Amino acid sequence: MSSTANAFFEGLSRFDVKRNGHHPGWLKGLRRSAFQWVAEQGFPTTKDDAWKYTRVAPILEIPFEPAEPAISRRLSVGGIEELAGDLGGARLVVVNGYFAPDLSSLKRLPAGVKVMSLAAALARDEALLEPFLSRPFREQPHAFTALSAALAEDGALVQIPANTTIEEPIHVVFVSDTGASPLVSHPRSLVLAGPGILGDVYLTNAVTHVVLEEGAVVEHYKLQNETETAFHIALLNVRQGRGSRFSSHSLALGASTARHEVRVRLEAEGAEVTLNGLYMPKNEQHLDNPTTIADDEVLITAMEHHSNIVPWQMLCEEKGARLRVAPITDAGELVLSELEKLIGPKTKLVAVTHVSNVLGTVNPIRQIVEMAHARGARVLCDGAQAAPHLTVDEQALGCDFYALSGHKMYGPTGIGVLYGRSELLDEMPPYQGGGDMILSVSFEKTVYNKPPAKFEAGTPNMAGAVGLGAAVDFLGSLEQDAFSAHEQDVLGYAIRALSDVQGLQLIGTARGKASVISFVLDDVHPHDIGTILDREGIAVRTGHHCAQPLMSRLGVVATARASLACYSTRQDIDALVSGLGKVREVFR
């Protein structure tokens, strides 16, 4: 950070040390994380795309003092009504970031509706607030949401129970009342809507978080009016459930600099949002209104490995997108008709395994690619389990990306391959910086190398690459038709033999299947099966195989898995069946 930004940050840090003693442990941890984030990442500049129209440098040059809770002698109920209007209904007033009970009127509330100060709600029920107070900072952090998470002391909570109709509006009024020194406040607003409801120099850093559950309807109105020398940084963060409707109407009358950021996340089908705004700056006043409505979707299937689930969950959380899951049959086959229905105009990526590591199911990738491309979606194929069993031609499959792992191909661990279409790799930014991924570097600008070097920063895993190359050469040396026929012969023999084992149930009986066999045996835990087979010199894998959602879909906790390869024989299957006989003897 610059010296100016450092001075601004250190001044606020002193406030954190002063106030942090009375907070619960999770909130102390959140505050520490938020302060650490600002210390490491600094404040945004106009070089940041999301802030290119907002200069925060003038804010950082002012030695703001954190606002303190105090009774204002300059404000009265009549003054509040003159400022905000007397529109009827309940009114909660927050002065300099703190609830002002003497200026508020909370008597005209419907039954069950709670409107209170955030500090009081935190003292009464911290478990209710914990999931929400960190979300704006955790999901899309910048310096001001981080400072809000670190320094907010109070604000407003509006909690509306299910199936409640609000006849009169609920007003939350934020007022800045400054003294001799420039003040900064960090008021927070949290609106929880249950299912089915119908002059002076100062800085206001306001965060409002609205959660609409299924069928909820919320109308939000905001009037912002500051002096021509004041600063206003605000975030409205909205999360909407199925069938909910949110409307926001904003009137901004200016400030020296005012930023009104709106983030809406449509988390389920049927959610609707309407955003209306009127902005009337005067003279050299500056207004910025960045708006994001996130309804992109990533589609995966119910048979994915965790490595094709967790990264998309992380990305969806970061970008506000939604993760959708295509179903499978009890036999372990994709329901293609349902998958096709799930690919819509919001689908940005379809991520699907070529061969299931648990079931052995071989998915029709070419058909899935055609479905996705017809609707403008990209396709990433997880080929880790396919590479050692199938002949893989990415161009024939038509997928946009194809990933595979070295150790599944008899190669070393810690190395793999990501294939991508050249035009897409050209468009993508590098995800790491370092040597070899650059063409030229100066203090003013860096020019990146062309793919694949653009994505290979630093000293590569040279030994791993040599080992992977040897593994690829080995697989390529096999006569593919004979190799495939051999694996299918041993697989068919294994299925017939295991089907005759009393109490054994095969898990995954798709018609198109690679040589992977999962099974359970009576009530014997797969770990016990694996232990006894190990003593007999038979190697199987046991557990959830990094596919817990699939285990849940199939109604099992874990399975034992026999993975066949080019060197497997019918004699190996006979030994497996004999070993399972020993398992049955132990648990008879």
Q: Which residues are catalytic?
A: 546
Question: 257-266 and 231-240 as β-strands: parallel, antiparallel, unpaired?
Answer: parallel
Q: What are phi and psi of 477, to 5 degrees?
A: -80, -15
Say how far apart CA 40 and CA 217 lie, in whole Å.
39
- The residues pairing with 347 across neighbouring beta strands, listed in sequence order, are 297
Q: Minimal CA–CA distance to 581: which of 527, 518, 511, 524?
A: 524
Say how far apart CA 167 and CA 495 lie, in whole Å.
66
Residues 409/468, Cβ–Cβ less than 8 Å: yes
Burial 354-376 (b: 16+ CB within 10 A, else e): bbbbbbbbbbbbeebbebbbeee
Residues 305/357, Cβ–Cβ less than 8 Å: yes
**Which region holds residue 17: left if phi is over 0, alpha if psi is between -120 and 50, else beta?**
alpha
CA end-to-end span of the chain:
69
DSSP of 169-200: --EEEEE----SS-EEE--EEEEEE-TT----
User: Which whole-number Å values give the CA distances from 218 to 196, 289, 311, in the listed order?
Assistant: 10, 21, 33
Residues 362/378, Cβ–Cβ less than 8 Å: no
Say how far apart CA 113 and CA 377 lie, in whole Å.
44
- What the block records as the tokens of 306 is 């965790």
